Amino acid sequence: MDLGLRDKIVLVTGSSRGAGQVTAATFAAEGARVVINYRGNPAGAAETASMVEAAGGQALVVQGDVTSRDSVESLVAAVAEKWGPIQVLVNNAVSFEAGAPLEEITDEGLAKMLDIVVRGAVVTAAACVPGMKAAGWGRIVNISSRSAIMGYEKTTHYAAAKSAIVGLTRTWAKELGPAGILVNAIAPTVIMTPKMLETMPEKIQQGMAKRNPLRRLATQDDIARVILYLGSDWNSYVNGEIITVGGGAMS
Distance CA 66, CA 162 (A): 16
- 158 is annotated as an active-site residue: yes
| Catalytic residue of the set 152, 158, 229, 237 | 158
Q: Are 90 and 10 in contact (CB under 8 A)?
A: yes
- Provide the annotated active-site residues: 158
